[in-house]
Amino acid sequence: MPQNPPPPRIHVLSKPSGATCNLACSYCFFLDKELLYPNSKFRMTDEVLENYIRQLIESHRSSEVTVAWQGGEPTLMGVDFYRKAIEYQEKYRKPGMTFENTMQTNGTLLDDEWCEFLKENNYLIGISIDGPQHLHDAHRVDKGSQGTFDNVMRGLRLLQKHEVEYNLLVTVNGLNADYPREIYRFMRDELGTKWIQFIPIVERVNPDGFNVYQLGNTVTERSVRPEQFGRFLIQVFDEWIRDDVGEMFVQTFEAAARNWMGLGSSGMCVFEETCGLGLAIEHNGDLYSCDHFVEPDYLLGNIKDEHMLEMVVSDEQTKFGQDKRDSLPQYCLDCDVRFACHGECPKNRFIETPSGDPGLNYLCAGYKGFFHRINEPFKILTMLMRSGRPASDVMAIVADREAHFTEAFAKAKPDEQCPCGSQMRYKDCHGWQRPKRRRKRRRAVASLARPPVRVS
Ligand code: SF4
Ligand code: SF4
C-alpha cells in the first residue's frame, strides 16, 4: 500500500515513440536516450497504451486529467494511435471526468488529416520554433542538416487553418538569446500567438560524450549563458510590461506573477519549492521521476509490473521531489528572491556558490537579475490585482515610474550595476547593444486562452 498520500492529480509526459525523431536539432538532449533501449522499435504498443491510460485515470482524485504527448516526435506514431488513446479515455472515464489532450511537436509532419483530428478532439498543441528563420534554422535542422523553418511554418499555418489551439515554445540558446525583442515580436506579430514558453538550453559537456546521464560541470557553446538568459528575459519583460500585459502570456512571467501574488503555486515545476508530480513514461511503460531525469537511476519501475500511483507516492519519488528543497545550498536559502526561484530545476544545479558550496544553479546569475528587475513592477501589479483593478493598469504606472531610467541609463558605466534594478552589470543588461535590424510590426489577432503545453 502507498505510504505517502496520493496527490489530487499528476502530470505525466508520455513518449510513445521514445527518443526517435524525424529531425536532428543540434541541442536536443533526448536523442541520445535511444541508447537506453538498444534494439527497440520505439513504438508504444496497444497493450501499453491501454494500460497507461487506465492507470493515469486511476491515479487521479481530480476530475481533470491531462494526457500529454511528447517525444522524440510524437506524430511519428500516426493519427490512429491517438484515436485509440481517445477510445481508451472514453472506456475508462470516471463520471464527470474531463480530459485535456496536449502534444508538443516540431509540427513538420502535420497535415489536414492530423489537424482535423486535433481540432475534433480539442487538442492543445505546442509548436517548437526558435524565432525567425535565421535563428530557427541555426539549430533546428533535419537529418540532412537542412533548416526546418519552412516545414514548421507549413504545419503552423495548417493548425491555424483548422483553428486548432496552439502555443509556441522557444528554446533559448547561445545564439538566439541575443535577439530577445526580435523573437518576441516575431511570435506576437508574425505568428499571432498569445502564449509563449521560453526554455533555456543548458547542455552539459558529458565526459563520455553522450547525453544519457547528466554529468560534467561545463556547458556547450550552444547553451545559453546565465547573464545572457537573464538579459533575454529582462528585455522581453520590458516590452511586455509596457505594451502587452493582459494581451500576451509568457509562461515565465505568469509563473513569477503568481509567486509575487502569493497564490501558492506558480504553475511551473521549476519555480516550485518541491516537485515530483511531473513524471515521464517511455514507450515500453517505464516510468521515470521526470522528463529531465530519464536515466537508469531515476527509473521508478514499469506500469506492467507496478501501478503508476504506487510509484508516484513511493518514498523514492517523494524524496526526489523534496530534494529540490532540501538540497538547496545556503546561498539560495539566504537569497532574497528564493520565493520566486526556489533554485530552479535540480538538473541545472551543477556549479558552486561564491563560497564554494556545491549545488548552485548554473542559471542563478540570470534568474537573480531577472527577478530583481521585475520586483518593482510586480509589486505594483500585485497591489492592483488585490484592489480589484485590471492587471493591464500596471503598464501606464510602470511607464510613468520608469521614465527616470532614461537619464540613469545615459549616465551608467558599463561595469556598474544596471539602473533597472537587476543588479547585473549595465553592459550585461540594458547597456548591451546588438546591431539594429529593420523590422515591420504587424499586429495579428490571436485567440488562445489555454495555458501552454507543459514540456517539463
Ligand atoms: S523539470 Fe526539474 S523542477 Fe520540474 S519536475 Fe523535473 S526535476 Fe523537478
Ligand atoms: S536566484 Fe540564485 S541564489 Fe536565488 S534561489 Fe535562485 S538559484 Fe538560488
pLDDT in tens, 151-208: 999 999 999 999 999 999 999 999 999 999 999 999 999 999 999 999 999 988 877 6
Ligand with an atom nearest the CA of residue 331: 2
* Span from the CA of 37 to the centroid of ligand 1 (angstroms): 23
Cell matching residue 110? 502535420
Closest residue CA from atom 3 of ligand 2 = 332
The answer to whether 172 touches 229, Cβ cutoff 8 Å, is yes
* Span from the CA of 337 to the centroid of ligand 2 (angstroms): 7
Q: Residue 39 has what pLDDT? A: 85
User: Which of the residues 46, 291, 315, 357 is marked catalytic?
Assistant: 291
* Span from the CA of 414 to the centroid of ligand 2 (angstroms): 24
Atom of ligand 2 nearest to the CA of 367: 1
Choosing from 331, 371, 423 the residue with most ligand 2 atoms within 8 A of its CB, the one to mutate for a pocket test is 331
287: which strand partners? 281, 301
Query: Is the CB of 331 within 6 Å of ligand 2?
Result: yes
Cell matching residue 409? 541609463
For the entire predicted model, the pTM comes to 0.90
Query: Is the CB of 74 within 6 Å of ligand 1?
Result: no
pLDDT in tens, 376-411: 999 999 999 999 999 999 999 988 887 778 888 889
| Mean pLDDT, range 67-84, rounded to an integer | 96
Closest residue CA from atom 2 of ligand 1 = 345
Active-site residue flag, 415:
no
Cα angle value 209/214/215 (rounded, 5°): 70
Ligand with an atom nearest the CA of residue 353: 2
Q: Would you place residue 444 in the very low, low, confident or very high pLDDT band (cuts 50, 70, 90)?
A: very low
Q: Tell me the residue length of the chain.
A: 456
Q: Residue 72 has what pLDDT? A: 87
| Mean pLDDT, range 32-40, rounded to an integer | 79
CB neighbours of residue 90 within 10 Å: 9
Query: Is the CB of 362 within 6 Å of ligand 2?
Result: no
Kindly write down the DSSP assignment for every residue of 308-372, as one continuous string: HHHHHTSHHHHHHHHHHHHT--HHHHT-TTHHHHTTS-GGG--B--TTS-S-B-TTHHHHHHHHH
Q: Residue 433 has what pLDDT? A: 78
Query: Is the CB of 363 within 6 Å of ligand 2?
Result: no
CB neighbours of residue 199 within 10 Å: 17
pLDDT in tens, 166-182: 999 999 999 999 999 99
Query: Is the CB of 347 within 6 Å of ligand 1?
Result: yes
